[in-house]
Amino acid sequence: MKRTTTRLADGRELIYYDNADDAVRDAHDRRPLPPVTASSEVRHNALLGERVGYAAHRQSRTYHPPADQCPLCPSQGERLSEIPAPDYEVAVFENRFPSFSGEMGRCEVVCFTSEHDASFARLTGEQAALVLYAWTDRTAELSQHPGVKQVYCFENRGTEIGVTLAHPHGQIYGYPFITPVTERVLRNVAEHKRRTGGNLFDELLEAERADGRRVVAETAHWTAFVPHAARWPYEVHLYPRRRVPDLMALTDEERAEFPGIYLELLRRFDRIFGPDAPPTPYISGWHQAPFGIEDRGDFALHLELFTIRRSPGKLKYLAGSESGMGAFVSDVLPEAAADRLREVAS
């Protein structure tokens, strides 16, 4: 695999990832772009004990452009985009409208393919492996950024989720703090270790595999299951069998098996609601250990995939109980969700 780094007209970094070692990426950005004027701020909520980011410049970001003006498609002739090349495999660039930037972290866009009407689920195993390589490479790079405490590689898919660009893409957030969800997980893992001497991640995975009712797919190195206390109507967690803190720690064998099981999960998600249903909206993201913390090896890398669609034509809205109090009430039992995900297997 080959990595080629260049700069866009306004100085932002752009990185091409190619399967062929002899790929040439020498196209230059011909757009007359003004410098990026991003300014982020982080404030602390003392009552909740969590941080909130502010990025007012994002109000002017690109919003649902027509397909022939997509900024993530390759540049063609005089139709210039964020990708100067006339074609690409995987491309990663600094977001022009970042939530965090400079000393306050970094935000990047990951284009999974040059095909505008494709989806991650329709990628080949080789293409998905290249995306995994890009996620891993960017995690390694951002781990050295002095303003980054945690890296989150994720995909928002579907207008129902709030996606404003239809082109298949994801994002990578290098947070300048440890996120609230991860802080809660770390506290519970540490408390469990203090109380029992065991690892909570390991025990939860072992319990799901032993129970079996919520396991939806397995390989020699990966297990996918609906968690016992899932928050979302259809939610799947994908764990490597061996506990590792981040993407960088995966073995070659684990990497080789990932595309097959992940693509199968995404394709099942698109079949949950029947053949006539529109593509299932989802959020998918890698949970990795923050940097510079004690007992980092106690954290278990895993991917969480979920949809806000609860039945055909109906969404799970975060209304009073969920948004106001953080108390989730789900309409679908985890065992029923697992049954359905097994039913729609390839």
Query: Do residues 99 and 154 make contact, with C-beta atoms less than 8 angstroms apart?
Result: no
Distances (CA, A) of 30 to 36, 60, 75, 116: 16, 22, 10, 21
Identify the three-state secondary structure at position 56: helix
Cα 57 from Cα 40, distance rounded (Å):
8
Helices 180-196 and 200-211, packing angle to 10 deg: 90
Distances (CA, A) of 345 to 127, 261, 263, 333: 21, 11, 11, 19
Residue type, 309: R
Q: What is the dihedral of CA 60, 64, 66, 72, to 10 degrees?
A: 80
Catalytic residues: 169
Counted residue by residue, the chain has a size of 346
Query: Do residues 179 and 173 make contact, with C-beta atoms less than 8 angstroms apart?
Result: no
Residue type, 315: L
Residue-wise over 170-196: b if at least 16 C-beta within 10 A, else e?
bbbbbbbbbbeebbebbeebeebeeee
What are the two backbone dihedrals, phi and then psi, of residue 257, each rounded to the nearest 5 degrees?
A: -85, -20
Q: Give burial (CB, 10 Å; 0-12/13-18/19+) of 331.
A: exposed
Cα 343 from Cα 239, distance rounded (Å):
21
Residue 284: closest CA among 95, 157, 167, 159: 157
Token match 């941080």: residue?
51
Residue type, 124: T
